[in-house]
Structure 1
Amino acid sequence: MNAIVSPLHSRDTRRPRVMVVGAGWRFTSGISYYTCRLTNAFSEVTDTSAVLMRQLVPTRLYPGRARVGRAVNTLQYVPEVHVHDGIDWFWGRSMRDAVRFITSERPDVLVLQWWTGAVLHSYLRLARLVRRYGGRVVIEWHEVQDTGEARIPGVTRYVVAAMQQLLRRVDGHVVHSRYDLELLRGTYPLPEDRVVLAPHGPYNHYDAADVDGERDGDFVFLYFGVIRPYKGVEDLVAAFELLPQAVRSTSRLVLVGETWEGWTAPLDAVAASPVRDRITVVDRYVDDAEVAAHFAAADAVVLPYRRSSSSGPLHIAMSAGLPVVVASVGGLVEAAGDYAGVTFVPTQDPASLAAAMADLPARRGERFDDPHSWDRTVDAYGELLTRLGLPGLMSDSAAGAPERRGA
């Protein structure tokens, strides 16, 4: 491959300045946390800044509209990161301010987090700006397109057409799994030599100090995450009902997550369940302190997805060392394949799900090491940037120093 070297970098031996663009905290979602964790990880090895997408869409159109603007996060950007918050979908002054910020920071690499078509027009504007002065543009793909968006007439056609415009200005791509890569290549032409695999980093920022050790009382199976059609939570309710009576009578099922897209099938299943007195539902987006408390109280995490490219709750569970039962779908097999505490089950199969769950109470208190690290993510970016002819990025662990734990 012929490396691409612009005059900006031809005699430059320093580490490249990185700017991450992704979800802000006003419309808090899993991508908000990922954007923050990735940015903080970059900041440990090079000068780093962040531009946050602030008002993603008109508030009335957002599934979690009732909580928009409410602070639920304790996770923060480290002081070393310059943060601009942020860009609104309608632009106005917000885009003018963002352009000034980017022009001042002058990043060598613009890293765009991709998860929703709502940001596409803004990403195109930022990519044009950075490419104009010789910077590089990288997309980190979290999925091809949000499933809820894809059901809106005309949205998929718009996203594919506009993405083609953006891709002409993109130098490299980061994906989390081979599954995601094949899925993406079914829609977009991603050059082989401009793509790297970067496993999702750990979500070890929750203070769950009491997670280790056995507890008295009922065994707690936890489902955590927004409740949407593809999450399969109704399959979990059915599986809990199928547990042997001896297990079910000493267990509880806790469902924690905000209902999206009007999908009430899991809640209806709970209401009609003969064991509903052993099921707890928390139908809202909980804050970070509550997240830590729910995972500290859990004995196992169950994720019965029907499709998924990646899962933040899976990474929280692995960071906590908990046993996990997860459907063998999408990118989850690769994400948890090296985790000793995982049990994979077929999707949409409550009987198999129940069988896996029934084995766990006898192993109560077992904990496992999370094989993931943000160093691996930074190193994958370093490999990509080297391919693009930029100075290298190398994590402390790759350079021989002890691996970071708090990125």
Structure 2
Amino acid sequence: MQVLMLDPSAFTPPYDHHLCRGLSTVGCDLTLYTTRSDYHLWDGERAYDWIEYFYRATNTLYSDRDGLPGRTAVKGIEHVIDMTRFIRKAWSLDPDVIHIQWTPVPVVDQWFLQALARVAPLVFTVHNTTPFHGASTSRIQLLGADTIHETADHLIVHTETSRDELINRGIPATKISVVPHGILEYPSATAADGKADADNQTILFFGTIKPYKNIDTLLEAYAALPAETRDTTDLHIAGYPKMDAKLLQRWARDLGIESSVRWDLRFVPDSEVSALFDTADVIAFPYDDVDQSGALLTALQYETPIVATDIAGFAEVLTDGEHGFLVPPNDAVALADALDNVLADPELLACMRENISDLAESIPSWTEIAAKTQDVYRSVT
């Protein structure tokens, strides 16, 4: 079965890589069409074809100069050109299925998808039922985002809650399949045999920093920890900011916790991810919106308790009191209490680590996920 996979802006390189590698193991002849993503350099040879097809001129003109004016306009023009090229390419290849991971500009992409639908059946993975979590980098990205899926022959979601949400919007249940998200194993990633020695414990936040992830609530929660816990605990925030990080740093100063917060504001190289998680004693996900989280599916392999908000993407994976704690969104006091409960009780922390290890082993492998995805392909061909 020949499959063309499409993620023009490389929104989720780790997910793309794991899924494509899995699909290759179950017999799919697969090519991923995407853009350059230098910060995700995976070990070993790919078992699938990877083509840097999109935004090559933009990547060259604005290399290491993302802040220069005009980049969005240049990229937008190139997107139209590249999608037009991709349609011609798809016609020439005559694939069995075209699988769309992301549409960067839905209001424009809906026209291209209609053209692609005449080439081959379209499968669309709906990673977020709330488009861009309501926090897109441009208002234009939100235009048409609610209807972009209508052209697809079949939709894939990662949770039952996401499936129910789409059904509530009028999409037939027969058109939606739940295919779970697998664990994202970064290069040299292994489950931690023990935490690195350190004077203080560490609370870790890992992932792209966006408004819906509520770093401000995490800072408030850290400031609200009992003095005896806060004095022996550091807060490490690691990830590339897609918002004004200076506002968060100013908030940390206002809360009087500036000296205890480590800001690591960058794309963390793949080779450093394992060490980052290995030094954490508890991982915090204070989001107020998520369908499923790649950061969560990265964290599980490291046997570290997790404190997250009680929303679908976390609640369908984690059990409150076993793998950590689930707390209401935007509740700094509840978040602080949960963090303190884990950090102040070594026996509970050790028990939760063991439970997390068991949970990680229960997550479907990428070969199993690929087989389910292949079943979706067969249903539309």
TM-score (norm 1): 0.76
1:335 to 317, 332, 336: 317
Structure 2 equivalent of residue 64 of structure 1: none
Shift of 1:281: 1.1
2:125 to 140, 157, 167: 140
After superposition, the C-alpha distances for 1:69-128 in whole angstroms (9 at most, x for unaligned) are 6721222684431222213452576446534543454321111113x5426644743563
Structure 1 equivalent of residue 6 of structure 2: 21
Structure 2 equivalent of residue 344 of structure 1: 326
After superposition, the C-alpha distances for 1:212-268 in whole angstroms (9 at most, x for unaligned) are 214432111100112222111111111112222222222111011222233644322
Shift of 1:379: 3.2
Residues of 1 paired with 2:287 and 2:91: CA distance?
42
Shift of 1:384: 2.6
Residues of 2 paired with 1:155 and 1:122: CA distance?
10
Residues of 2 paired with 1:286 and 1:123: CA distance?
33
Shift of 1:197: 0.5
Structure 2 equivalent of residue 304 of structure 1: 286
Residues of 2 paired with 1:374 and 1:70: CA distance?
21
Residues of 2 paired with 1:210 and 1:200: CA distance?
18
Residues of 2 paired with 1:273 and 1:307: CA distance?
25
Are the structure 2 counterparts of residues 42 and 340 from structure 1 closer, same or farther at C-alpha, using a change threshold of 3 Å?
Answer: farther
Contact 2:191 2:303 in 1 (8 A): no
Structure 2 equivalent of residue 320 of structure 1: 302
Is 1:202 the counterpart of 2:183? The answer is yes
Is 1:277 the counterpart of 2:259? The answer is yes
Residues of 2 paired with 1:212 and 1:338: CA distance?
24
Contact 1:18 1:42 in 2 (8 A): no
Contact 1:204 1:320 in 2 (8 A): no
Residues of 1 paired with 2:309 and 2:87: CA distance?
43
Contact 1:52 1:83 in 2 (8 A): yes
Are the structure 2 counterparts of residues 214 and 319 from structure 1 closer, same or farther at C-alpha, using a change threshold of 3 Å?
Answer: closer
Residues of 2 paired with 1:84 and 1:359: CA distance?
47
Shift of 1:385: 3.5
Shift of 1:44: 0.5
Contact 1:228 1:263 in 2 (8 A): no
Residues of 2 paired with 1:157 and 1:214: CA distance?
46
Is 1:111 the counterpart of 2:129? The answer is no
Question: 1:58-207 residue pairs with structure 2 within 5 A?
Answer: 71-75=38-42, 78-88=45-55, 89=76, 90-91=78-79, 94-95=82-83, 97-99=85-87, 101-114=89-102, 116-118=103-105, 121-122=108-109, 124-125=111-112, 128-129=115-116, 131-133=117-119, 135-144=120-129, 145-147=131-133, 155-160=141-146, 163=148, 167-168=150-151, 170-187=152-169, 189-207=170-188
Is 1:374 the counterpart of 2:359? The answer is no
Secondary structure at the counterpart of residue 122 of structure 2: strand
Query: Percent identity, aligned pairs only?
Result: 22
2:19 to 23, 38, 60: 38
Structure 1 equivalent of residue 204 of structure 2: 222
Residue correspondences, number = 348
Question: 2:97 is matched by which residue type in structure 1?
Answer: V
Secondary structure at the counterpart of residue 312 of structure 2: coil
Higher helix share: 2
Residues of 2 paired with 1:233 and 1:92: CA distance?
35
Shift of 1:160: 4.0
Contact 1:177 1:334 in 2 (8 A): yes
Are the structure 2 counterparts of residues 321 and 101 from structure 1 closer, same or farther at C-alpha, using a change threshold of 3 Å?
Answer: farther
Secondary structure at the counterpart of residue 83 of structure 1: strand
Residues of 1 paired with 2:138 and 2:9: CA distance?
24
Contact 1:235 1:349 in 2 (8 A): yes
After superposition, the C-alpha distances for 1:343-370 in whole angstroms (9 at most, x for unaligned) are 2111111121112111223145534231
Give ranges in structure 2 of 5+ residues lacking alignment: 56-75
Are the structure 2 counterparts of residues 293 and 123 from structure 1 closer, same or farther at C-alpha, using a change threshold of 3 Å?
Answer: farther
Structure 1 equivalent of residue 67 of structure 2: none
- Which deviates more, 373-382 or 290-299? 373-382
Is 1:233 the counterpart of 2:212? The answer is no
Secondary structure at the counterpart of residue 335 of structure 1: coil
Secondary structure at the counterpart of residue 87 of structure 1: coil
Are the structure 2 counterparts of residues 103 and 152 from structure 1 closer, same or farther at C-alpha, using a change threshold of 3 Å?
Answer: closer
Contact 2:98 2:121 in 1 (8 A): yes
Give ranges in structure 1 of 5+ residues lacking alignment: 1-15, 55-68, 391-407
